[in-house]
Amino acid sequence: MTATTDGSAGPLPPRATSASERTDRAAGPAAAGPLDPVERVAARTAERATAHLLAAQHPDGWWKGILETNVTMDAEDLLLRQFLGIQEPRVLEAAARWIRSQQREDGTWATFHGGPGEISTTVEAYVALRLAGDEPTDAHMATAAAWVRAHGGVAATRVFTRIWLALFGWWKWEDLPELPPEIIYLPKWFPLNLYSFGQWARQTIVPLTVVGAHRPVRPSPFPIDELHTDPAVPNPPRPAAPLHSWEGVFQRLDKALHAYRKVSIRPLRRTALGVAARWIIERQENDGCWGGIQPPAVYSIIALRLLGYDLDHPVMRAGLASLDRFAVWHEDGSRMVEACQSPVWDTCLATIALADAGLPADHPALVKAADWMLQEQIGKRGDWSVRRPELTPGGWAFEFDNDNYPDIDDTAEVVLALKRVEHPDRARLASAIERGVLWNLGMQSKNGAWGAFDVDNTSRFPNRLPFCDFGEVIDPPSADVTAHVVEMLAAVGLRDDPRTRRGVDWLLAEQERDGSWFGRWGVNYVYGTGSVVPALIGVGLPVEHPAIRRAVAWLESVQNADGGWGEDLRSYPDQEWAGRGTSTASQTAWALMALLSAGERDGKAVERGVRWLADTQNEDGSWDEPYFTGTGFPWDFSINYHLYRMVFPVTALGRYLHGEPALLAAPLGEAA
């Protein structure tokens, strides 16, 4: 995997010591003396963690941890309210309190805990605090503004930040990349059609084409000259890239799109805007959100408002109400906005964890969780059917309400969870599992692997658009998702199916030279390796297989001196950080899950990892984990899943104590 060095990343942490190097255990709440057998320590730690996790289950059967991202969610929520004229003083002050609490000592805001200052995040946070009444002369504001100017000013921010600024006249619309609403007409075979984008980008781009077509400007409540390197020239011209480069080609395409705006056929544009409005409304979920995630909801509400929808219109009322459900109110009165909510994901992972920790398969908590997951299975077609029109629905989504976008990863893990539950309605359970498996098999890409939401979503053209600088906008297959599907297929009796074997071959070919696997949806090589090794063992690869031994050697080589594992998000832009970072409960568990499946239960690396989990456990059975170990877009958008610190340690400790899960694979019907 090729990576570039990010000069702002700061000093690297010390290299991890060899896994064979012993360290004394630090005294902790779960410690019981250095001579205690590790099994006893693990059992006590697992018992306390299991009790804590059980207590977190909702009466309806689901789990949901906080999904923490960065303050752009909070800033954009306030900017939306300002744009719509619905600012509430209580919300404004509570959000500002949260934003202030996340400011770093150098005046900036980062996109993950312990990360470097990020200019777009800092600009958006600064403007949000200005809305809340903070003045440029306030010390924390002056420090932030000075840092922004030193790093290129507003002109150095991402396109999305400048779009928000343009809504209030703080940036010129004509200085933004153009993406016309007519893109909705492009056929699916066209290299840059709407379905070339990943589902999250697709849902965001359609409403933004409406916003860009209208170019609205609301009165600005204050100037932001202090954020420009030169207020007289806020957007200095940039030299054109060579025509023979992709950057040069797409720069000139953007110029052509700007020219098209001036000569576009007005009836065609009006019709395109109408089609975009229908596209947006048709994808609104029953709870009012769009795709179960905050960004498309925000932009869809703005787009529909510009198209004439009154704030009292049912679509708008439902959309605004859905945004309120993303708010988390803290005890100190601050308010944080989640980018998304993850109940299906959290529930299937919690079910797997508790079952592997020794709860009986018919335990009421597991049966109740299975009941809830069964009712969440999706029976309608979504955008995925554009590429797979003949495929029968049967997947699960990540969120409470997101029937348009089930995902392959959740579906695989839900099936693995349901396989662990002895449900009283066996026929219903078997039917749900079969439909989920068949849907996942139908979503296999042509290279034998699986992406998250779509099939063969691999065109590189969308990423090259000047408009698309906000993170990954396509959904190619990844090792972690493919591994989860392969593990699931083995569990349902399809380990020798040709489709499974193609997935295995792809995984083996994707192994890095050092023995790890890249992690697309979790940080990073520890997550990828922790996902792939159990899957390969599950389909029958022997523990002596060279790929398994290389993975074990890599995990041992990056174990921290304290016995845990950690990996910083800087491993995405800079591979020198691969497998390196402060130990966390979730990443230690991922490493243990891989090592345990590879037959390393009695090895020193596993013992030290188990003891690290025991030594760092809190009195209530939980773990502290401020570090972000989840990934939205590698490096650009990071996630701290607050339940990861529970579900994965419980799973790892359970497998240490009880062995690998013995899922009796009952073959599916002939349809499989």
Q: Give the pLDDT band of residue 234 (cuts 50, 70, 90).
A: confident
CA 336 to chain centre: 17
Counting DSSP H helices and E strands in the chain, the numbers are: 23, 5
Average pLDDT of every residue of the chain: 91
Phi and psi based region of residue 621 (left: phi greater than 0; alpha: psi -120 to 50; beta: remaining): left
CB 619 within 8 A of CB 52: no
pLDDT the model gives residue 640:
98
Cα–Cα distance for residue pair 437/667, rounded to 1 Å: 11
Distance CA 475, CA 387 (A): 13
3-state SS record for 204-253:
HHHHHHHHHHHCCCCCCCCCCHHHCCCCCCCCCCCCCCCCCCHHHHHHHH
SS3 for 253-319, per residue?
A: HHHHHHHHHHHCCHHHHHHHHHHHHHHHHHCECCCCCECCEHHHHHHHHHHHHHCCCCCCCHHHHHH
Structure tokens given for 460: 């590189």
The pLDDT of residue 176: 93
Is residue 211's pLDDT more than 70? yes
**Cα 355 from Cα 363, distance rounded (Å):** 9
Average pLDDT on 134-144 reads 98
pLDDT at 26: 32
The answer to whether residue 666 scores a pLDDT higher than 80 is: no
d(CA 18, CA 530): 19
The pTM (predicted TM-score) of the whole model is 0.91
- 6 with 115: CB under 8 angstroms? no
Residues annotated as catalytic (active site), given as ranges:
409
At residue 336, the 3 state secondary structure works out as strand
Residue 29 has a pLDDT of 37
Specify the pLDDT at position 36: 66
For residue 669, pLDDT over 90 is answered with no
User: Region 544-563: what's the mean pLDDT?
Assistant: 98
Pairing, β 335-337 against β 637-641: unpaired
Give the containing element (helix H, strand E) for 329: strand 327-329
227 or 239, which is more confident: 227
Of how many residues is the chain composed?
Answer: 672
- Tokens 């993303």 -> residue: 326
Domains in the chain: ranges and CATH: 68-234+245-337 (1.50.10.20)
Which pLDDT value is given to residue 411?
A: 98
Residue 257: the pLDDT is 74
Could you give the angle at which helices 38-55 and 644-658 cross, rounded to 10 degrees? 140
pLDDT category at 261 given cuts 50, 70, 90 is confident
- Residue 337: DSSP 8-state: E
Q: What is the pLDDT of residue 25?
A: 30
- Lowest model confidence (mean pLDDT) among 195-209, 247-261, 359-373: 247-261
Highest mean pLDDT among 471-475, 529-533, 666-670: 529-533
Which DSSP category does 667 fall into? Answer: P
Confidence (pLDDT) at 24? 34
Q: How does residue 668 score in pLDDT terms, banded at 50, 70 and 90?
A: low
Average pLDDT over residues 120-146: 98
pLDDT at 130: 98
* Count of CB atoms situated within 10 Å of the CB of 527: 27
Q: State the first-to-last Cα distance of the chain, in angstroms, to the nearest integer.
A: 35
- Identify whether the C-beta of residue 524 lies closer than 8 Å to the C-beta of residue 465: no
* CA atoms of 348 and 373, how far apart (whole Å): 8
Residues of the chain above pLDDT 90, percent = 84
Over residues 90-115, the pLDDT tens digits come to 999 999 999 999 999 999 999 999 99
Per DSSP bridges, beta strands 67-68 and 335-337 are: unpaired
pLDDT at residue 272 tops 50: yes
pLDDT band at 20 (very low <50, low <70, confident <90, very high): very low
pLDDT at 246: 66
Q: What is the pLDDT of residue 13?
A: 43
Say whether pLDDT at 672 is over 60: no
CA gap 77, 437 in Å, rounded: 38
| pLDDT band per the 50, 70, 90 thresholds, residue 4 | very low
Report the C-alpha gap between 291 and 273 in whole angstroms: 20
Radius of gyration of the chain (CA): 25
Question: What pLDDT digit, counting tens, does each position of 421-444 carry?
Answer: 999 999 999 999 999 999 999 999
φ, ψ of residue 243 in degrees (nearest 5)? -60, -30
Residue 149: how many CB atoms within 10 A of its CB? 16
pLDDT above 60 for 33: no
Task: Tell me which residue of 205, 188, 197, 185 sits closest to 457, measured CA to CA.
Answer: 197
Quote the distance between the C-alpha of residue 524 and its chain's center.
Answer: 12
CB atoms within 10 A of CB 634: 19
**Angle 227-296-145 from CA coordinates, rounded to 5°:** 10
Give the confidence band of 652 by pLDDT, cuts at 50, 70, 90.
Answer: very high
Q: What are phi and psi of 414, to 5 degrees?
A: -65, -45
Say yes or no to pLDDT of 31 above 50. Answer: no
